[in-house]
Amino acid sequence: MSNILKLKNLLLLFIFLPVLTPAQSWFDNRSGITEYNKGEYEDAQKKFQKARKKIPDDPSVTLNISSTLYKQEIYNEAGDEIIKSLRKNPEITDSSLYSSLYYNLGNSFFKQESLGQAIEFYKSAVRLNSNDLDAKYNLELLLKIAQQQQQNQRQNQQQEQQKEGNQQQQQQNKRQDQQNQDQPEQQQAQNQQQEQQQQQEGAMSKEDAERLMDAFRRQEQEMIYGQSQQQERKTGGSKYRNQRDW
């Protein structure tokens, strides 16, 4: 709400000069307005407070005290003064005066960056006095500011969502890159495991080797025996033959 300082001169304040009794109250209030117009806001406040001691329930004096506090940039106390007066005087006896009270209340809350409450107070001021162009202007101004803030908020939310989406995409890409890097290593490890398994399956144990040698020796012996049998059959079944013919 920093741009609001440029419109400070448009947030007008009302100074009321009511017909007060007794005469001293009128004089104190008049003296306060004189000091206010000279820019002596603290002295003006004292004069208005002195007048209020004689007429404590008069909303117009409260309005003037609130105006001096506002000029001193004591915005919270400026608003509190009006709120207290409205609680003491809830019945609207003068629509123009009460419109001014709500108008100054809107100014005070606006300076405290309570935009929503300030808008409602300006609406009340316009309802009580539809001819108050300053109240209408400030109301339209704050409605535009509120709309702009909502748009900015939506844009910020969209930007945050987009940022989160980008971060998630980056993380996903990072995980994919890591998987791509790990895949050759995993494949190599898997190949090594398969080779080891094949080697283990193809490896011959000591017992298997002995059994194989025994079978080979048996086959060799059987082959030799078979060859010797064939040789005997060829030579007549004996190495020595009897030549005598009895």
pTM equals 0.60
Q: How far apart are CA 246 and CA 242, in angstroms?
A: 10
Percent of the chain with pLDDT over 90: 34
3: pLDDT strictly greater than 60? no
H or E element: which one contains 226?
helix 206-234
| Average pLDDT value for residue range 105-112 | 93
pLDDT in tens, 109-157: 999 999 999 999 999 999 999 998 889 999 999 999 999 999 998 888 8
The Cα diameter of the chain in Å comes to: 191
How far does the chain reach from its first CA to its final CA, in angstroms?
A: 150
CA dihedral 146, 148, 153, 157 (to 10 degrees): 150
Domain assignment of residue 46, yes or no: yes
Q: How far apart are CA 203 and CA 58, in angstroms?
A: 112
The region of weakest confidence among 34-48, 142-156, 220-234 is: 220-234
Domain assignment of residue 71, yes or no: yes
Q: How far apart are CA 197 and CA 121, in angstroms?
A: 85
Domain assignment of residue 169, yes or no: no
Q: How far apart are CA 152 and CA 21, in angstroms?
A: 53
Domain assignment of residue 110, yes or no: yes
Domain that holds residue 122: 2-148
Which of the two residues, 236 and 184, has the higher pLDDT score?
Answer: 184
pLDDT in tens, 59-96: 888 899 999 999 999 999 999 999 999 999 888 888 98
Give me the DSSP letters along 152-180: HHHHHHHHHHHHHHHHHHHHHHHHHHHHH
CA distances from 71 to 35, 78, 82, 114, 183 (A): 12, 9, 15, 18, 73
pLDDT, mean over the chain? 78
CATH code of residue 8? 1.25.40.10
Are 53 and 24 spatial neighbours (Cβ–Cβ below 8 Å)? no
Q: Is the bond preceding residue 59 a cis peptide, omega within 30 degrees?
A: no
Q: How far apart are CA 78 and CA 75, in angstroms?
A: 5
Domain assignment of residue 29, yes or no: yes
Query: What are the structure tokens assigned to 140, written together?
Result: 């339209």
Helix (H/G/I), strand (E/B), else coil: 26: helix
How many structural domains does the chain have? Answer: 1
